[in-house]
Amino acid sequence: MSQSAQNSPYEPPFRVGHGYDLHRLDRYAPLGRGRPMVLGGVRLAAGGNAEVGPVAHSDGDVLLHAITDALLGAAGLPDIGQLFPDTDPAHEGRDSGEFLMEAITRLAADGWSVANVDATVILERPKIGPHKDAIRANLARLLAIAPGQVNIKGKTHEGVDAVGQGLAVEAHAVVLISRVGA
If the CB atoms of residues 57 and 179 are measured against Zn ion, the closer one turns out to be 57
Q: Are 115 and 177 in contact (CB under 8 A)?
A: yes
Tell me the β-bridge partners of 39. Answer: 42
If the CB atoms of residues 61 and 124 are measured against Zn ion, the closer one turns out to be 61
Nearest to 153 by CA among 65, 63, 80: 63
CA separation, residue 5 to residues 12, 111, 114, 159, 181 (Å)? 14, 21, 27, 54, 22
Q: How far is the CB of 18 from Zn ion (least distance, A)?
A: 15
Q: How far is the CB of 141 from Zn ion (least distance, A)?
A: 21
Q: How far is the CB of 20 from Zn ion (least distance, A)?
A: 10
CA distance 75 to 52: 34
Which residues lie near Zn ion (CB under 5 A)? 21, 65
If the CB atoms of residues 65 and 131 are measured against Zn ion, the closer one turns out to be 65
Q: How far is the CB of 91 from Zn ion (least distance, A)?
A: 11
Strands (E), the chain: 14-27, 38-39, 42-43, 52-54, 112-122, 150-155, 168-179
If the CB atoms of residues 83 and 115 are measured against Zn ion, the closer one turns out to be 83
Q: Are 168 and 123 in contact (CB under 8 A)?
A: no
Q: How far is the CB of 61 from Zn ion (least distance, A)?
A: 7
- Number of residue whose CB is nearest Zn ion: 65
Nearest to 96 by CA among 67, 51, 136, 65: 65
If the CB atoms of residues 86 and 133 are measured against Zn ion, the closer one turns out to be 86
